[in-house]
Structure 1
């Protein structure tokens, strides 16, 4: 039994496909298949059920894959310990971030990280919350910046900031002249939402639960639209298609002359908590602290920093 074979079975369990797993491991499919068959023969167990289009993990195989992942992490930890003895911040840090935070935090965060810890380059992955949590669990990521809540998988969590939501309306809309707007007033508006999979969509539906029904004849709802990104939805707002709710950091610093007006909520203002999460077995504590410091060095207009 080798670490390479363990990496192969973890990859197959993750990809549910031998070909994709081989690509992820940078080997040919026959090489991967032979290695896994050899491991199954050595353990005298069947790890995978081979289907026509997808591979599934057997019940016993799931337990073995979990242990294999743990062994891989522990082996990597040995290298981390050795590096920490020389420079605890030496080496890349694999950082995940959700779509509704990445475009607004990463440019400044990366610049500060380069200035503060040039020996620790960031390897970035932007994705949905569920995918990032899964990548943390399997060791594909070291840490991730996400918004609570997300599935409890035993991750270590450090709060970064609380971010208020704000309403985006066309410049010509009657609400654009208001100093603040109540959440109940949005029931009468055409709401533009992010597509399924975005956690911020769920946050908006908590503020405006009526839109969860997606029914054209539901009381107070005319129609709702979905977009693939906040920036796409902002363009739809600018064209007069409706209104939306966005996180504070997505609001441009200079809104003069734009076609979208951003109006605060009346109290209580809805917010989301943004956190940094990592596996409890991850040993580069100094790297986590350095990343938090780089986040706090960012301007972060309009949010409440959480340093506890």
Structure 2
């Protein structure tokens, strides 16, 4: 029995599919299947019922998988303890990050972090907020980057406040305004992200400020991607809200939409670093947070008139 074999059965349990599990942990399916079969032969029990789709653990398999998670967590704990010793930061650092932050924030600090800490292996995985928190609780992620508060069992570091921006089609009446106010959104049908995205929930909260009639407005289309919402606006279809960093490199020569800031108080979301274990990789977490803060645009470093939308 090896830690590798235990990690394989945990992966299959998570994805409930041998091919998907193999893909996620970057090995071939035959290797995964062979190692799990070898473990089952050694233990003399079936861990998975392969006759069902999706594959499910047997009753004994469920107990073995739970023990495997504990063993893997303990092994990771030992590795983490060693990795934070001394002056040089090193080891694997797995980051769960929500999709409305990842493509815009990570490029700002990635090269600087790699140059500064070459012995740290950074692994990023985009996931919805609920999935990030679940991964932290299961010790799958070391840290998460999210935009909503967590429960009392998590530790948080505030990184920065990110304003919401309006993105308006060029022929829309709001394109003529210098700045938007929240009242402008009351009568608009906004393009929204799919359910599960915290940015969607926050957008709806902004529109609901003192507005009980919002729910009567029809939602025509929902997307899982901010870039899709941008393209809809640029085809002269209405208005959406965007996080500041998503529009930081906006080029008016390449798009057919208009970016609009809000009047004070500016609706904003709080970007935070979250983690579940304070005592492990503390130095690495501190270094990671500090470098992110150093990499954000100067205009995000202080916002005195922000209205934080949680």
Residues 260, 22 of structure 1: alpha-carbon distance in 2 compared, 3 angstrom cutoff: closer
Cα deviation per residue 1:179-205 (whole Å; 9 max; x = unaligned)? 333334323223111223322112112
User: Are 2:27 and 1:29 equivalent residues in the alignment?
Assistant: no
User: Are 2:185 and 1:194 equivalent residues in the alignment?
Assistant: no
**Corresponding residue to 2:289 among 282, 292, 299:** 292
Partners of 1:198 and 1:207 lie apart in 2 by 15
Task: Say if 2:172 and 2:238, in contact at 8 Å, map to a contact too.
Answer: no
Cα distance, 1:302 vs structure 2: 3.8
Cα deviation per residue 1:241-277 (whole Å; 9 max; x = unaligned)? 1100111222235655553222233444322111112
Partner of 2:128: 128
Partners of 1:25 and 1:101 lie apart in 2 by 25
Residues 230, 19 of structure 1: alpha-carbon distance in 2 compared, 3 angstrom cutoff: closer
* TM-score using structure 1 length: 0.80
**Corresponding residue to 1:272 among 244, 269, 274:** 269
- Unpaired segments ≥5 residues, structure 1: none
Cα deviation per residue 1:14-65 (whole Å; 9 max; x = unaligned)? 1223454455383241431341464474xxxx86666621234578866664
Partner of 1:15: 15
Residues 36, 277 of structure 1: alpha-carbon distance in 2 compared, 3 angstrom cutoff: farther
Cα RMSD after superposing both structures: 3.3
Partner of 2:306: none
Residues 282, 66 of structure 1: alpha-carbon distance in 2 compared, 3 angstrom cutoff: farther
Partner of 2:110: 110
Partners of 1:246 and 1:109 lie apart in 2 by 21
* TM-score using structure 2 length: 0.79
Q: What SS does structure 1 have at the residue aligned with 2:284?
A: helix
Residues 168, 55 of structure 1: alpha-carbon distance in 2 compared, 3 angstrom cutoff: same
Equivalence map 1:172-251=2 (5 Å): 172-209=171-208, 219=216, 221=217, 223-251=219-247
Cα distance, 1:95 vs structure 2: 2.1
Partners of 2:250 and 2:5 lie apart in 1 by 54
Residues 225, 157 of structure 1: alpha-carbon distance in 2 compared, 3 angstrom cutoff: same
Q: What SS does structure 2 have at the residue aligned with 1:141?
A: coil
Cα deviation per residue 1:124-169 (whole Å; 9 max; x = unaligned)? 222322333333334433222111145x493332111122212111
